[in-house]
């Protein structure tokens, strides 16, 4: 009752004009406005989700180019076939090694570079401008570039390092080399995220502990690292998840070879679905990879949430 | 820490020198490949495998790559790939902006039912394995005639550009104080006019950064055009990779020139939006 009265008074105060909080537009229309704005994006999302769902459906069929005429539902047969195949577990192993090693190396190097740049020396400020260059080149083009450098006969790497005709992409070295290229491309990603994080940290705790006579390492471990942790985690999440589905530069460099030494899960799926045109088998690989990515994402995001809360607490 | 913030103080301490040495080491590793690419692209065919650093530079390779002569030598139509990349990536970004800006505004300004679900579904496109979408689309595109078309490419590139545009811009709209729109509403603006005339101009740097970053990522994407295009609408990344693909004679100098042309637009664009890069690359999670 009270509100109605107030409204009426306001209305009488300003005749002919909609009062303050513009109920000129009815409330239901105002409430629908955000939905209205989001509808196009929602439609596109649904359209994009359709192939995802279709892909999940493929895993239950025996859909391949050779039998497009009579596709039938085979239940979980594809999963049985994939989960008992050495190729799949080999790809899982390669992907796991790739993702763990790459993320670890890039995190350590990225944090190191960020801290070095944070010192703000003259050299550092020049380097900071060009830090992101490798990151902005298409990974596929970076793959081409490194293939030229890795070339065992004419490649510049063997010439400069005096390695003779060392085979960078041989069966015992290829995985190392594709990881090296990933480190070359993506370490700057970790570095610029962490650098932005370090710069946003408050100065007071460091000044206080410097007054208390704390050493550099103590401050790094007890203060800086916990406060930087959320930024490092964001970078780790992006890198680790991308590594699980890595394709571009690895495919350009080795196409999964020699043999299956660099066949990651997405390359294995590519071979099954596109090269051998067995869509159902490829889709099963992808479904399993998707499940892996999803579970990892859930876990890492919950870790990030905890770290952010802790860092916020530390800053108070 | 605090003392390190004053420059002149520690210019020549062993730690400072050591730090600079480490930095130089990284940047030699980081920049040498790019320098090498430039050198290789300036060599003649005779010099491409016979010399490393001493040669007489020529710009001929760039002309060859862009001409019919290059297509004849390498069977890669580079110019058409360049055009295809510009049109499909530009188209994809435009579509994402038109669809994404209102959604980002809605999600940044209001917490409506399902908004979080929608946002996280869109974000998950960024992290989903690409082939999961590509395999069914490969089948569908072949059936409905979208295979190897710019339209088909623009559509699938939404997976790259839309999450980026929506998430970056949501973080910009979240940071925008609501008072300005409220003031506009009090002045009798409709919600739509407050959005278009007040909120939108204020996030213009964010829109530019998101658009350019989305363009870079679309330009750099490889697996989508690799599978969903054939000979006529292949993009630049596919074309560059094809230089080393088939048998026959290898033209490393032409490959390097093509790679350089393909790498240049993202590099130039990235340097122009450097200030906004951290926020963009982290999808708005890290603000600097």
Looking at beta carbons, which residues of chain B come within 8 Å of A136? 216, 220, 263, 266-267, 269-270
Q: B interface mutation test: which of A34, A269, A271 has the most B CBs within 10 A?
A: A34
pLDDT-based confidence at A23, cuts 50/70/90?
Answer: low
pLDDT at A172: 93
pLDDT at A183: 98
pLDDT at residue A188 tops 90:
yes
- The verdict on A199 touching B (C-beta cutoff 8 Å) is yes
Q: Does CATH number 1.10.3720.10 belong to domain A78-311?
A: yes
pLDDT at residue B152 tops 90:
yes
Q: ipTM of this predicted complex?
A: 0.91
Q: What is the pTM of this model?
A: 0.90
Print burial letters for A182-194: b (CB count within 10 Å at least 16), e (below 16).
bbbbbbbbbbbbb
| Average pLDDT for chain A | 87
Among A55, A139, A189, whose Cβ lies nearest the Cβ of B136?
A55
Q: What is the mean pLDDT of residues A143-151?
A: 94
Among A41, A124, A141, whose Cβ lies nearest the Cβ of B99?
A41
Q: What is the mean pLDDT of residues B183-194?
A: 89
Among A147, A245, A293, whose Cβ lies nearest the Cβ of B244?
A147
State which H helix or E strand residue B206 sits in: helix B204-220
* pLDDT tens-place string over residues B68-104: 888 888 888 999 999 999 999 999 999 999 999 999 9
Contact call for B102 and A41, based on CB within 8 A: yes
Q: What is the mean pLDDT of residues A304-308?
A: 87
pLDDT at A12: 39
Q: Which among B126, B131, B132, B160 has a CA at the least distance from the CA of A52? A: B132
pLDDT-based confidence at B246, cuts 50/70/90?
Answer: low
pLDDT at A240: 96
pLDDT at B6: 47
Contact call for A35 and B106, based on CB within 8 A: yes
Looking at beta carbons, which residues of chain B come within 8 Å of A139? 220, 222
| Average pLDDT for chain B | 88
pLDDT at residue B2 tops 50:
no
Q: Between B68 and A192, whose confidence is greater?
A: A192
Q: Between A19 and B270, whose confidence is greater?
A: B270
- The verdict on A66 touching B (C-beta cutoff 8 Å) is no
Percent of chain A surpassing pLDDT 70: 91
* pLDDT tens-place string over residues A49-71: 999 999 999 999 999 988 888 88
Q: What is the mean pLDDT of residues B13-23?
A: 83
């Amino acid at each position: 009752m009270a509100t109605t009265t107030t409204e009426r008074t306001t209305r009488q105060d300003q005749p002919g004009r909609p009062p303050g909080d513009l109920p000129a537009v009815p409330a239901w229309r105002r409430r629908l406005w955000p939905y209205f704005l989001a509808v196009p994006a929602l439609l596109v999302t649904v359209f994009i989700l359709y192939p995802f769902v279709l892909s999940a459906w493929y895993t239950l069929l025996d859909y391949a180019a050779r039998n497009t005429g009579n596709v039938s539902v085979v239940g979980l047969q594809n999963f049985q076939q994939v989960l008992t195949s050495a190729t799949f577990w080999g790809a899982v192993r390669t992907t796991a090694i790739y993702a763990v090693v790459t993320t670890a190396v890039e995190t350590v190097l990225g944090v190191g570079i960020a801290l070095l740049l944070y010192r703000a020396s003259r050299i550092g400020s020049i380097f900071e401008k060009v830090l992101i260059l490798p990151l902005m080149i298409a990974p596929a083009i970076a793959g081409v570039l490194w293939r030229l450098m890795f070339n065992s006969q004419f490649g510049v790497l063997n010439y400069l390092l005096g390695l003779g005709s060392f085979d960078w992409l041989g069966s015992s070295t290829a995985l190392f080399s594709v990881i090296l290229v990933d480190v070359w491309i993506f370490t700057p990603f970790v570095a610029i995220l962490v650098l932005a994080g370090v710069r946003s940290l408050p100065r007071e705790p460091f000044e206080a502990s410097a007054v208390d006579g704390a050493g550099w390492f103590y401050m790094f471990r007890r203060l800086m690292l916990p406060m930087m942790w959320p930024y490092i985690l964001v970078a780790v999440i992006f890198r680790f998840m991308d590594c699980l589905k890595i394709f571009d530069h690895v495919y350009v460099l080795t196409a999964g070879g020699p043999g299956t030494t660099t066949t990651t899960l997405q390359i294995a799926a590519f071979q099954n679905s596109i090269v051998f045109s067995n869509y159902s088998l490829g889709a099963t690989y992808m479904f399993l990879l998707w499940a892996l990515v999803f579970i990892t994402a859930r876990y890492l995001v919950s870790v990030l949430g905890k770290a952010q809360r802790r860092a916020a607490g530390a800053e108070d | 820490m605090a003392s390190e913030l004053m420059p002149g103080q520690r210019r020549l301490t062993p730690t400072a020198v050591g730090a600079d040495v480490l930095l130089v080491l990284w940047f030699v590793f980081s920049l040498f490949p790019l320098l090498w690419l430039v050198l290789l692209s300036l060599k003649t065919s005779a010099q491409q495998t016979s010399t490393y650093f001493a040669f007489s530079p020529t710009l001929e390779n760039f002309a060859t790559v862009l001409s019919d002569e290059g297509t004849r030598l390498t069977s890669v139509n580079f110019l058409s790939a360049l055009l295809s990349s510009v049109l499909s990536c530009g188209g994809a970004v435009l579509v994402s902006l038109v669809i994404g800006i209102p959604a980002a505004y809605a999600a940044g300004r209001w917490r409506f039912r399902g908004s979080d679900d929608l946002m996280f579904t869109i974000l998950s496109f960024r992290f989903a394995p690409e082939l999961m979408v590509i395999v069914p689309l490969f089948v569908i595109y072949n059936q409905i005639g979208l295979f190897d078309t710019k339209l088909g490419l623009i559509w699938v590139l939404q997976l790259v550009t839309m999450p980026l545009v929506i998430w970056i811009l949501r973080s910009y709209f979240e940071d925008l104080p609501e008072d300005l729109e409220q003031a506009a509403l009090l002045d009798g603006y409709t919600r739509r006019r407050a959005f278009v005339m007040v909120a939108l101009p204020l996030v213009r740097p964010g829109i530019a950064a998101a658009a350019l970053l989305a363009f870079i990522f679309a330009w750099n994407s490889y697996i989508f055009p690799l599978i969903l295009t054939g000979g006529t609408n292949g993009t630049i990344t596919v074309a560059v990779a094809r230089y080393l693909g088939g048998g026959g004679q290898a033209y490393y100098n032409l490959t390097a020139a093509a790679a350089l042309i393909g790498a240049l637009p993202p590099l130039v664009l990235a340097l122009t939006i450097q200030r906004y890069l951290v926020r963009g690359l982290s999808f708005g999670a890290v603000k600097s």
